[in-house]
Amino acid sequence: MSEDFRSNVSPDGNAAGLDGVAENKKSRKPAVIAVASIAVVAVLAGCGYLGWKAYTGHQLAEARQACVEASESYHKAAGEYSKLVDGDAAAASQITAKQVADAKTVAVLAEELKATEPKTVACVADDKAGYEAQAALIEKHAGWYGKHAKSLENAVKAVNDSKLAKTVSDAERLLKDSDGKVQDAKTRDELSKAIKAKDADAIAAASKKVNDSMAAKTKADEEAQRKAEEEAAAQAAAEAAAAAQAQTQQSYSAPQQSYTPSYSGGTSGSTGGGSGSSAPDFVPVSKGFGVGSADDCDAACRAPIQH
């Protein structure tokens, strides 16, 4: 028997060595199980942490993505609103109360343009809750832009419609007032068509043509009247000159006068008591009176008769 075997034999001769070995194996088994359990728990714990970390990271990524998408919608709404403000709204804001049928539309548009835009919100946060809060605020601001863009569009449309209404009304009045006062009647036909179409640009162009035609007719009428007045004045002046000339000729014409000499005495051959001469008492001759002809008889003929 070997020495090792003898050492495991009890004094009473029993083979105690084999039992001891078995007993040692039994005593080590719980320890192994405990260590294995701890290892399993550690592995499970590690897996759980990794799983939790992966889960929370996924949620954070989703929250961040939702915030980014909300921010994109916000910037799109803000861009459309700015385009409206700088474009159609800016043009409509130049229209005055005198250019529209309803002045209230101009006031409403002015108030819409005074609205204060919300501040920009950045999509930055440290955790899921932070991203969710930022996304909610961004969505709220995007809603503001959507709401005010709609109301601003309505205000712009109201102003433009009111301006068109006044344009049509003024054109209708011009069409009525220009009846019979245009040089070219076709301009009024063109204006009538533009009014029916409610085309502001066409109405403006046709109205200008009507006004120009009215001005041309007015000028032509004034010119015709001026010419008629000048002709009438020239005729009156000619008649007056003719009348004056006739009056002058009448004033300077010599009066036509006649003279018949008178005779006295008896018949030829009578004697005694009276004049027996048959010749007239005065014979207008040139000798002794200086009368050369019958036309010179004026003064000499009135001389006293001498017997």
Backbone Cα Rg of the chain: 69
- Using the 8-state DSSP alphabet, how is residue 289 labeled? T
Cα 290 to Cα 302: distance, rounded to the nearest angstrom:
13
Cα 183 to Cα 193: distance, rounded to the nearest angstrom:
19
Q: Where are the domains of the chain?
A: 3-58, 178-240
> Is 101 exposed, middle or buried (CB count within 10 Å of its CB: 0-12, 13-18, 19+)?
middle
The predicted-structure confidence for 68-119, as pLDDT tens digits, reads as follows: 999 999 999 999 999 999 999 999 999 999 999 999 999 999 999 999 999 9
- How many residues are given for the chain? 307
- Cβ neighbours of 158 (radius 10 Å): 18
DSSP 147-206: HHHHHHHHHHHHHHHHHHHHHHHHHHHHHHHTTT--S-THHHHHHHHHHHHT-HHHHHHH
What does the pLDDT read at residue 38?
Answer: 56
What does the pLDDT read at residue 56?
Answer: 73
pTM, two decimal places: 0.57
CA separation (Å) from 286 to 91, 241, 259?
Answer: 115, 46, 17
Instruction: Say how many CA atoms lie within 13 Å of 102 toward its Cβ.
Output: 12
Tokens read off for 193? 């068509």
**Closest CA relative to residue 125, chosen from 117, 114, 113, 133:** 133
Residue with tokens 């204060």: 116
Mean pLDDT for each consecutive 10-residue tract of the chain (307 residues)?
42 46 54 52 50 70 93 95 97 97 97 94 90 94 96 98 97 96 96 96 97 96 92 92 85 59 49 47 49 51 53
The predicted-structure confidence for 171-208, as pLDDT tens digits, reads as follows: 999 999 999 999 999 999 999 999 999 999 999 999 99
Tokens read off for 151? 């109301």
Cα 231 to Cα 44: distance, rounded to the nearest angstrom:
125
What does the pLDDT read at residue 304?
Answer: 55
CB 248 within 8 A of CB 271: no
What does the pLDDT read at residue 127?
Answer: 92
Tokens read off for 255? 């009066």
Cα 71 from chain centroid? 38
> H helices within the chain, ranges in order?
3-7, 16-86, 88-92, 104-113, 128-177, 186-197, 200-252, 297-300
